[in-house]
């Protein structure tokens, strides 16, 4: 991997970590990032940085696997990140200790518009919270708004499952139950 590719790689993680507190462990941003790919082709300034072939990005609890990652920079800032795969796989622990797992054919992050778009058989699972599947799931990282629907050309329905809130076990009263009254054999 080239030195310029390594300097742009944090943008992938920054883009995905900015997906809001419900989908990101905030301490992951301060962790070392390890990236592997079969090849990279990156410009030293503005422009594209393309990683291809078995792209694997790990930073803290964030784990991303894709076939290709395409970063676009303008004016020194990352503007967009596109991950493609069969499928793209993401998993990350949330600040509350729960996990988020997502798969989609493509994941697009648009930094100026604060949106992450999962498309192509998108599936987001947060055990203990629920799941969402659809052709396309759009998440606004600024507002927390989630929209889902069919992707262009498919008529797959949106499917959501909401997990019930777990009830805590009743507290013991500390009292020993009274014995049942004895019956005489009359």
**Residue 105: predicted pLDDT:** 94
Please give the distance of CA 34 from its chain centroid, rounded to a whole number. Answer: 18
Domain range summary for the chain, segments of one domain joined by +:
3-162
Per mean pLDDT, which range of 26-30, 54-58, 76-80, 100-104 is the poorest? 26-30
Q: Report pLDDT digits (tens) over 101-126.
A: 889 999 998 878 878 899 998 998 88
C-alpha distance from residue 120 to each of 21, 66, 112 (Å): 24, 14, 23
**Residue 38: predicted pLDDT:** 96
Q: Once rounded to an integer, what is the mean pLDDT over residues 157-177?
A: 69
Q: Report pLDDT digits (tens) over 66-93.
A: 999 998 888 877 788 899 988 999 888 8
**Residue 34: predicted pLDDT:** 80
- The three-point CA angle 147-153-157 to 5° equals 45
Fold of 3-162: lipopolysaccharide transport protein A fold (2.60.450)
Q: Could you tell me how many residues make up the chain? A: 186
What's the CA gap between 12 and 166, in Å, rounded?
Answer: 35
Work out whether strand 115-126 and strand 146-149 pair parallel, antiparallel, or are unpaired: unpaired
Residue 130 φ/ψ, nearest 5 degrees: 150, -175
pTM, full prediction: 0.70
Q: Report pLDDT digits (tens) over 34-43.
A: 888 999 998 8
The answer to whether the CB of 64 falls within 8 A of the CB of 56 is yes
């Amino acid at each position: 991997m080239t030195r310029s590719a390594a300097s742009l790689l944090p943008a992938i993680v920054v883009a995905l970590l900015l997906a809001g507190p419900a989908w990101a462990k905030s301490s992951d941003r301060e962790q070392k990032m390890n990236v592997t790919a079969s090849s990279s082709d990156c410009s030293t300034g503005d422009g594209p940085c393309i990683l291809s072939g078995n792209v694997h990005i790990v930073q803290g609890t964030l784990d991303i696997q894709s076939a290709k990652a395409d970063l676009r920079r303008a004016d020194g800032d990352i503007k967009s990140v596109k991950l493609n795969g069969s499928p793209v796989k993401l998993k990350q622990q949330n600040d509350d200790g729960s996990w988020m797992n997502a798969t989609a054919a493509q994941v697009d992050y648009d930094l100026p518009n604060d949106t992450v778009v999962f498309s192509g058989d998108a599936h987001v699972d947060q055990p203990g919270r629920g799941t969402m599947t659809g052709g396309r799931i759009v998440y606004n990282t600024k507002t927390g708004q989630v929209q889902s629907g069919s992707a262009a050309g498919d008529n797959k329905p949106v499917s959501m499952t909401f997990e019930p809130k777990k009830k805590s076990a009743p507290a013991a009263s500390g009292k020993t139950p009274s014995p049942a009254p004895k019956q005489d054999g009359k």
